[in-house]
Amino acid sequence: MTGDASSVRTALTRGGRTIRPAQSSPPIRQVLADRRELVATARERAQSPFQTLRHFAVTTPGKLIIICGILALGCLSTGLYASTVLEDRTQTLQRLIDRTEPLAEAAQVLYSSLSIADASANAAFISGGLETPELRQRYSDALATASSSLILATGTSSEPGSGMASDRAEQAVSADLETLSTSIPVYSGLIETARTNNRLGNPVGSAYLGQASSMMQDQILPAAQRLYERRSMAIADPQHTLTRPPWTVYAPLLFLLAALVLTSRYLARRTRRRFNIGIVAAIVALGIGTLWLLASGLMSVAATSDARTEGADPLRDLTAARILTQQARSAETLSLIRRGDQGGLERSFSAATSEIGNIVDDVRGGTEDGDSAVTAEQLDSVTAALTEWKRTDAAVRRYIQTGNFGLARLHTVGDGPDSSARAYTAVDTALVDAITTARNSFRDDINTAQRVLGFTGTGILLLTVFAGVAIVGGLIPRIREYR
């Protein structure tokens, strides 16, 4: 046995090496587990990028990245939108004060100057022979003012390509301007012909004057009135929009503030940190922007509302009263030329002066409520002058009815204390003073609204950009913690 054992041992250790039995195979469960892992890895690699992103989006770092992107883009888009809206408002206010209102003023002066020229021409004709230097100067000044106002009124109050409605309105304005530019020289030529024949004592002068007056009443003044009405509407239309706060800008700012507050609470639960410096900085920036917009927006709206109630509304009414004043004066002077139409001209004068009184009373109601920059003293001056004008016109009518045309002419075109010309001038001067006050109030309020809102759009854009950067800077460190 000893020999057998020794031989076996020798065979096993032959060559100085120990021969060990072969190792057993791995368990079947381990093999299956490894295979399943390999299959899962292969499937994961074979998945589409969208599925990978979907799986990543439900994780905490994925949620933080999504929140960061949405809030940052929301801040930038809100800032751009707010800047665009507020810049449009600022430009509208600037255009209103630089272009639209001066065009309306030029149209008003054009109409009044044409009416004054017509009334002065009639008064010069009925004065007989050579007219007084005052009437001649008044006619020349009125015609020169009308010509310069016509040049100013030829501008456009809308931007190119602003819309079909604006284009149609400008086409109508162009048609009226063409009528005025072609008719005024013809009118002045007829007046000069009538004046020459009147000086020579030729009866045909009255025919030329009647033709000129008919052209003024039937063509020139209606075109000038339509032009003024359209220019006035160009002032009224933007004011309806500008007197409303920019609610479409407030809404996204408040939505962003609410989203930031919810994000801060989410981070506090996930990261066990009460505050995130970036989120807090963004909340502060957007809060400042919202308060800035609230203050400047409300102040701008208040100033625009004052411009409408204290300036534009009484300005429109007083301008209409001045237009009626010129119509009444034309009817008064024509009554000495068209002696066969006394009843119609007297009714025209009475209707115009009564309407002037009603307009002054309406504006006076605004002064009592504090809704007009025009003072009660200015309106009292208009009322007193209007009362005196009615009295002197009634005296002229009595002279005409009794056939005393010489005395009627003297009281119509003379400069005595009982002259209707002096009373008419007093009414016109008082109305011009009130119109100037209302216009200055309108321009001051619009300038205030424009200055208050001037830098708000740029400021909010900068604040929202800062908020977006702060959001990214505050969330990136939290996202890196999950690597």
pLDDT in tens, 192-218: 888 888 777 777 777 888 788 888 888
Select the more confidently predicted residue: 64 or 290: 290
Per-residue pLDDT at 102: 87
Residues 439/367, Cβ–Cβ less than 8 Å: no
User: Rounded distance, CA 189 to CA 208, Å?
Assistant: 10
Asked whether residue 152 carries a pLDDT value surpassing 80, the answer given is yes
Length of the chain as a residue count: 483
**Which pLDDT band holds residue 168 (cuts at 50, 70, 90)?**
confident
Digit-coded pLDDT (tens) for 405-459: 778 777 777 777 778 888 888 999 999 999 999 999 999 999 998 888 888 989 9
Per-residue pLDDT at 12: 47
Per-residue pLDDT at 284: 94
Asked whether residue 2 carries a pLDDT value surpassing 50, the answer given is no
Per-residue pLDDT at 160: 45
Packing angle of the helix pair 101-126, 221-242 (nearest 10 deg): 150
Select the more confidently predicted residue: 236 or 385: 385
**% of the chain at pLDDT higher than 70:** 82
Select the more confidently predicted residue: 273 or 453: 453
User: Rounded distance, CA 108 to CA 233, Å?
Assistant: 13
**Which pLDDT band holds residue 56 (cuts at 50, 70, 90)?**
low
User: Rounded distance, CA 299 to CA 135, Å?
Assistant: 49
Span 128-153, average pLDDT: 80
Per-residue pLDDT at 393: 87
User: Rounded distance, CA 262 to CA 427, Å?
Assistant: 67
User: Rounded distance, CA 86 to CA 231, Å?
Assistant: 25
Asked whether residue 10 carries a pLDDT value surpassing 80, the answer given is no
Residues 308/243, Cβ–Cβ less than 8 Å: yes
- Show the CA angle centred on residue 475, arms to residues 471 and 477, nearest 5°: 135
Average pLDDT score, the chain: 81
User: Rounded distance, CA 202 to CA 207, Å?
Assistant: 10
**DSSP state, 338?**
-
In the chain, helix, strand, coil percent, each to 5?
Answer: 85, 0, 15
The b-or-e profile of 134-168 (16+ CB within 10 A means b, else e) is ebeebbeebbebbbebbeebbebbbeeeeeeebee
Distances (CA, A) of 265 to 12, 279, 404: 75, 10, 96
**Which pLDDT band holds residue 78 (cuts at 50, 70, 90)?**
very high
**Which of 172-176, 248-252, 271-275, 374-378 is predicted least confidently?**
271-275
Per-residue pLDDT at 370: 65
**Which of 38-47, 286-295, 373-382, 406-415 is predicted least confidently?**
38-47
The b-or-e profile of 402-427 (16+ CB within 10 A means b, else e) is eeeeebbbbbbbbeeeebbbbbbbbb
Per-residue pLDDT at 453: 87
Residues 297/328, Cβ–Cβ less than 8 Å: no
Highest mean pLDDT: which range of 183-187, 310-314, 329-333: 183-187
User: Rounded distance, CA 416 to CA 422, Å?
Assistant: 8
Span 343-368, average pLDDT: 85
- For 374, the token pair is 């025009």
Select the more confidently predicted residue: 246 or 201: 246
User: Rounded distance, CA 407 to CA 467, Å?
Assistant: 82
**% of the chain at pLDDT higher than 90:** 19
Span 82-94, average pLDDT: 90
Residues 472/279, Cβ–Cβ less than 8 Å: no
User: Rounded distance, CA 206 to CA 209, Å?
Assistant: 5
Residues 6+ apart with CB under 8 A from 53: 62
User: Rounded distance, CA 97 to CA 472, Å?
Assistant: 42
Burial level of 39, CB count in 10 A (0-12/13-18/19+)? exposed
First to last CA, the chain: 69
User: Rounded distance, CA 227 to CA 319, Å?
Assistant: 13
Three-state DSSP state, 276: coil
**Which pLDDT band holds residue 55 (cuts at 50, 70, 90)?**
low
**Which pLDDT band holds residue 469 (cuts at 50, 70, 90)?**
very high
Per-residue pLDDT at 358: 92
For residue 315, what is the enclosing H or E element? Answer: helix 313-334
Residues 467/281, Cβ–Cβ less than 8 Å: yes
